[in-house]
Chains A and B, each alone.
Chain A
Amino acid sequence: MNAVDGVSFEVDRGEIVGIVGESGSGKTMTALSLLRLIPEPGKITSGRILYGEKDVAQMTDEEIREFRGNEIAMIFQDPMTSLNPVLRIGFQVEEAMIAHQRFTNKQAKERVVPMLQRVRIPAAKDRVRDYPHQFSGGMRQRAMIAMGVSNEPSLLIADEPTTALDVTVQASIIELIRDLSRELRAAVILITHNMALVASLCNRVIVMYAGRVVEEGPTRAIFKNPQHPYTWSLLRSMPRVDEKEKERLISIKGLPPDLGKMPPGCKFHPRCKFRVDRCFTEEPPLAEVDPGQQARCWVLMKNIPDPEAQAKT
């Protein structure tokens, strides 16, 4: 069974790339495979993960350990459970630095408070000795981010970093991630199902469905001109502030396919309103539809005269 298949993308330094898709579409697996941390019994069966010149998929265990946290850092969804409850916050940040030989123990100790200040934890000097349960959700996420960026990684993977947080805190966390990525000149992969977040933060978007990239392109192009019916439906399923008429939202009926029972042909065709005969038997390739924009579809939205009307039937 392939949870993720034929996913290929690039991320450049300083770029913020969003990966969007429903639950179970393979977003997190894609991110975990970048660090070779797929939960058992899963494994990478084929493919390359190039980081600069190095292939992560071919690294030895010691190389990959040194690589994690040093070159690529990950920020998790739920800061409530990603911090060790019995260790002090400061110690956990310190430990993240000591795990790699980039800093001496003394340097690491001295960097803890500045790191916490950098992620804007108020009164950082007093709070290094606190335990995680003494922190609020937003502050824990900040502490997690401090651990993540403490080794100045060049790629930051944020797996739904704001999903578990209060709406008022979400914005400040997002701002923090953006500012840090600029300061560190780090690339960011943002995994989310929040389209608004993608629109405000990302340069490029990758839309995933059933373990495949179905559409990829610059954020503007994807939002203005989605070519894959899935992307199009996803965007039409959300209310928009600038909507002129009283449009009804369009829902995508059904559920993503079961890994064990993948439909033949295009994986989206059972839920697609625009399918043609070919979709049932033949899986479309990811093809360029506009400069820089690719979609995996036989039909493409630009070839449909009045998609709104058709989608409502």
Chain B
Amino acid sequence: MAQAAPVIQPDLELSYEMPEQVTLLSDAWRRLKRNRLALVGAVIIGLLFVTALISIVWTPYPTWLQAVGPTYQPPSAAHPLGLDQAGRDILSRIMGGALITVQVGVGSAIIVSLIGIPLGLLAGFYRGKVDTVISFFINIWYGIPDLLVALILVFVLSDALHLIPRGVLVIVIAFSLTRWMDVARLVRGQALALREREFVEAARMSGARDFALLARHILPNALGPIIVQATFAIPAAVLFEAFLSFLGLGLPSPTPSWGAMAADGYHGMDFAPHIVLAPTIALSLTLMAFNWVGDGLRDAFDPRMRR
């Protein structure tokens, strides 16, 4: 049988494809949705926020209530995650810890941005002496061991000067004062690049004030990378809080901080590992989720990924 002549089939689908008309944010969102890992991360973060919200109005037991059952009790039907060394319900404390984590993470991301964005904008936009001064401080701050300074800040602000009670706020402030440089440096770079763009020049030529140039032309165009950077600040802050609390230098007992909970169970690890495992798994999942979403956002905002 004679073979049929090969037919060239034009890829019609390709030739009919029209570029979709979308805004920067919806475009980024579309690409983010294609990223599985980022979606899983987003679901975990969603759960974290819901849990945190619920814990404000309801937890199975009060997070501070001791001896709701035998100490070191392993997970059971009544207490799905078991009880800790003081007989507190671990599920309730994990839920309360979610709220602490959200407060620390989001609060730090906001304050880091509030410090870093204006400084970066000023340095990148005005260049010259302003930039020299701000960049000098950025570099100095990078040279300082941040953990050490943050520890000292927490101690000085809360214990020595009694300015801020030891709690979420002082942790957020100590973290932000030592970690604002990433955002500042990023925004500075963005502003340096964007100020040379023609639409900025065009706006300047139509008589726009510097503030309008910064607020309407430079900042909105730098928003993508800023969101990514702020997303990465969240897990760093969460880890910082957990670390301090684990050492006993963070949130005071009986605040259900995941770091403090891990420290609580640390001595009974050989016979009651669930006390350590519950908060550490919650912490790990949270950190991974934020990093996945951060990576996803970075790819989603990257114009070179645009297709």
Contact = CB atoms under 8 A, between A and B. Distances in A.
Interface residues of A, number: 30
Given A81-B197, A82-B199, A87-B216, A37 B209 contact: no
B23 interface: yes
B220 interface: yes
A68 B23 contact: no
A53 B204 CA distance: 24
B207 A65 contact: yes
B205 interface: yes
B131 to A, nearest CB: 13
B297 to A, nearest CB: 17
Interface in A28-79: 35, 37, 65-70, 73-74, 76, 78
Nearest to A147: B206
A85 B203 CA distance: 13
B208 interface: yes
Interface string B204-240: 1111110010001100110100000000000000000
A148 interface: yes
Contact of B221 (A73, A85, A100, A151): A85
A131 B223 CA distance: 17
Given A37-B201, A84-B199, A68 B206 contact: yes
B1 interface: no
B206 A81 contact: no
A84 B209 contact: no
A78 B206 contact: no
A82 B204 CA distance: 11
A86 B221 contact: yes
Nearest to A148: B206
Nearest to A73: B206
Interface string A70-109: 1001101010011111110000000110011000000000
B24 interface: yes
A191 interface: no
B199 A69 contact: no
A134 interface: yes
Interface residues of B, number: 22
A76 B208 CA distance: 16
Interface in A133-154: 133-134, 144, 147-148, 151
Contacts of A99: 206-209, 212
A131 B23 contact: yes
A179 to B, nearest CB: 21
B21 interface: yes
Contacts of A67: 207
Contact of A35 (B24, B205, B217, B221): B205
B270 interface: no
B10 to A, nearest CB: 27
A96 to B, nearest CB: 5
B198 interface: yes
Nearest to B200: A84
A95 B216 contact: yes
Given A95-B216, A134-B21, A83 B205 contact: no
A306 B94 CA distance: 97
Contacts of B220: 84, 86-87
5 contacts: A67-B207, A68-B205, A84-B199, A86-B24, A95-B203
Interface of A: 35, 37, 65-70, 73-74, 76, 78, 81-87, 95-96, 99-100, 131, 133-134, 144, 147-148, 151
Given A66-B207, A87-B216, 19 more contacts: A35-B205, A69-B208, A73-B205, A73-B206, A74-B205, A82-B198, A83-B202, A84-B199, A84-B200, A84-B216, A85-B221, A86-B23, A86-B24, A86-B220, A95-B203, A99-B206, A99-B207, A99-B209, A134-B21
- The 10 A-B pairs with the shortest beta carbon distances in the complex, nearest first, are A69-B206, A69-B207, A68-B207, A81-B198, A82-B202, A84-B199, A82-B198, A86-B220, A96-B206, A99-B207
